[in-house]
């Protein structure tokens, strides 16, 4: 074989080897290798807020989730010292609640685990964990804060009540002697009567005999007999003036509405038998159920207001008349009755009314927006913004709540800033750092 033939064969073999290598490389899946973009002097890089393991030297989008990368800059630090940072554990950014003791692949998302360093879990002055969130991320998520303030909390109870008859203004008209109803001027429930108006006439032999005895005593001009006869007629609720009458007239003791009618004309009555009941509606009650948590705000004498759907725009002024001493164990409410003037009869028994009871003001209390409180089920927590990007969970003792404001009894000071929206991000990070487990652990880390 000559020299030219050998050279040709060598070129063919080399070309085949190169093509085979190129084909093998093209068939092998491409792997992204994350390269650290900082040196001893500190260097700018871009990272994904949701996938902090992604670091690139120029702006762009996250190769994992497509989110826009944000700019970061590491602080200058000695490379040897950076290698000595204490790792608390490794975690999957998509499942931060799961911790691992060693680096490796996540069993959930097939991605590299990320280390959580001890110096990243800062401790606040009270010993609770400080959570750090990139300010740009907080802005993108619409995170807002509000100032803890000192103010006045108006103790006000809003409830629905029902109008009822004032039971102190109910009168019963009854017969004092046996007889028959020969006259009845009231024929139906709901009729109105005036004080002193005749409502019935009763024929009673006993009453007629007592009147005749009085007439005889007067004829004899015997003061002793006259006095005895008058006393007997008064006890029988009969008139002591004039001549004897077949019918003894019975008058209404007060103005009001007939709520019950027990007899009809011609009916026989016995001593003590009620004829009818009258209710004076010039004053009425409104009965309300007050939640147990607000029961201490409602006391006798406190002002109240009522509104009716049938009278839009009209406000009725009243007061708390009585608070019942027993709590309903089924509804956990306390019943109270409110007294209202009702001279024009607008408030009718049975109506529903929207009621407001004013329990007075608590001044100088600490107030925060209700949305700032995170209720974990075992404790109440707010997130205090210490400075830009740093947040600290604080356990608080809560007081009453009304109109999207809540009283904080203990845990906060006026002037502090608390997070009112976007807490889910900080709450997730706080859970990741175990912040809730360290709340109240003491001032020493």
Q: What is the pLDDT of residues 113-126, one digit of tens each?
A: 877 766 554 444 34
Band (pLDDT 50/70/90 cuts) for residue 11 is low
Section 160-175 average pLDDT: 94
Query: Does the domain formed by 156-166+281-361 have CATH 2.40.30.170?
Result: yes
- First-to-last CA distance in the chain? 84
C-beta contacts of 314-323 below 8 A and 24+ residues apart: 314/346, 316/340, 316/346, 316/347, 316/353, 317/341, 318/286, 320/357, 321/285, 323/295, 323/298, 323/299
| Model confidence pLDDT, tens digit, residues 47-64 | 876 677 788 878 888 887
| Residue ranges covered by each domain of the chain | 44-121, 140-153+363-438, 156-166+281-361, 169-278
In a 3-state reduction of DSSP, which class is residue 227?
Answer: helix
pTM of the predicted structure, to 2 decimals: 0.58
> What gap in Å lies between CA 198 and CA 258, rounded to an integer?
13
Q: Where are the alpha helices (DSSP H) in 246-326?
A: none
Are 426 and 383 within 8 A, CB to CB?
Answer: yes
Indicate whether 384 pLDDT > 80. yes
Instruction: Supply the pLDDT for residue 354.
Output: 95
Closest to 274 (Cα-Cα) out of 292, 260, 253: 260
Q: What are residue 433's phi and psi, to 5 degrees?
A: -85, -5
Most confident of 14-23, 217-226, 304-313, 375-384: 304-313
Please indicate whether the domains covering 140-153+363-438 and 156-166+281-361 agree at the CATH topology level.
Answer: no
Closest to 41 (Cα-Cα) out of 74, 6, 86: 74
Instruction: Supply the pLDDT for residue 195.
Output: 93
Are 17 and 24 within 8 A, CB to CB?
Answer: no
Phi-psi region of 259 (alpha: psi -120 to 50; beta: other; left: phi over 0): alpha
Q: Distances from the Cα of 2 to the Cαs of 5, 6, 16, 98, 407, in angstroms?
A: 6, 7, 22, 70, 102
| Model confidence pLDDT, tens digit, residues 245-262 | 888 888 999 999 999 999
> What gap in Å lies between CA 273 and CA 269, rounded to an integer?
6
| Model confidence pLDDT, tens digit, residues 193-248 | 999 999 999 998 888 888 888 888 888 888 888 888 888 888 887 777 778 888 88
Section 16-34 average pLDDT: 47
Closest to 302 (Cα-Cα) out of 276, 336, 263: 336
Please state which of the four CATH numbers 3.40.50.300, 2.40.420.20, 3.30.70.1230, 2.60.40.1120 is assigned to the domain occupying 140-153+363-438. Answer: 2.40.420.20
SS3 content of the chain, % helix, strand, coil (to 5): 20, 40, 40
Please state which of the four CATH numbers 2.40.50.100, 2.60.40.1180, 1.10.8.60, 3.30.470.20 is assigned to the domain occupying 169-278. Answer: 2.40.50.100
| Neighbouring C-alpha atoms within 13 Å toward the C-beta of 362 | 18
């Amino acid at each position: 074989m000559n020299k030219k033939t050998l050279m040709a064969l060598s070129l063919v073999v080399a070309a085949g080897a190169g093509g085979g290598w190129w084909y093998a490389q093209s068939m092998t899946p491409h792997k992204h290798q994350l390269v650290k973009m900082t040196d001893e002097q500190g260097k700018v890089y871009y990272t994904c807020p949701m996938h902090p393991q992604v670091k690139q030297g120029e702006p762009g989008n996250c190769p994992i989730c497509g989110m826009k990368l944000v700019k970061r800059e590491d602080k200058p630090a000695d490379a040897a010292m950076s290698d000595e940072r204490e790792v608390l554990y490794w975690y999957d950014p998509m499942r931060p609640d799961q911790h691992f003791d060693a680096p490796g692949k996540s069993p959930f998302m097939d991605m590299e685990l990320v280390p959580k360093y001890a110096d990243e879990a800062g401790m606040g002055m009270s010993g609770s964990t400080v959570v750090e969130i990139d300010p740009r991320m907080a802005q993108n998520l619409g995170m807002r804060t509000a100032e803890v303030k000192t103010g006045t909390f108006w103790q006000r109870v809003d409830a629905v009540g029902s109008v009822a008859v004032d039971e102190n203004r109910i009168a019963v008209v009854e017969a004092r002697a046996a007889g028959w109803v020969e006259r009845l001027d009231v024929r139906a429930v709901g009729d109105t009567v005036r004080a002193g108006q005749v409502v019935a006439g009763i024929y009673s032999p006993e009453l007629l005999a007592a009147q005749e005895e009085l007439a005889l005593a007067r004829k004899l001009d015997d003061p002793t007999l006259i006095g005895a006869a008058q006393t007997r007629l008064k006890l029988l609720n009969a008139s002591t003036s004039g001549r004897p009458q077949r019918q003894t007239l019975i008058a209404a003791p007060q103005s009001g509405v007939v709520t019950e009618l027990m007899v009809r004309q011609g009916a026989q009555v016995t001593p003590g038998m009620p004829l009818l009941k009258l209710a004076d509606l010039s004053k009425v009650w409104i009965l309300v159920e007050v939640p147990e948590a607000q029961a201490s705000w409602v006391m006798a004498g406190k002002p109240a207001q009522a509104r009716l759907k049938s009278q839009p725009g009209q406000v009725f002024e009243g007061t708390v008349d009585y608070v019942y001493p027993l709590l309903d164990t089924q509804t956990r409410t306390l019943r109270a009755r409110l007294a209202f003037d009702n001279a024009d009869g607008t408030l009718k028994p049975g109506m529903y009314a929207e009621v407001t009871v004013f329990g007075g003001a608590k001044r100088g209390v600490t107030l925060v927006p209700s949305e700032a409180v995170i209720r974990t089920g075992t404790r109440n927590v707010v997130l205090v913004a210490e400075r830009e990007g740093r947040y600290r969970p604080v356990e608080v003792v809560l007081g009453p709540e009304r109109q999207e404001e809540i009283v904080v009894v203990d845990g906060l000071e006026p002037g502090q800033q608390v997070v009112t929206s976007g807490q889910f991000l900080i709450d997730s990070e706080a859970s990741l750092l175990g912040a809730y487990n360290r709340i109240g652990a003491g001032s020493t880390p």
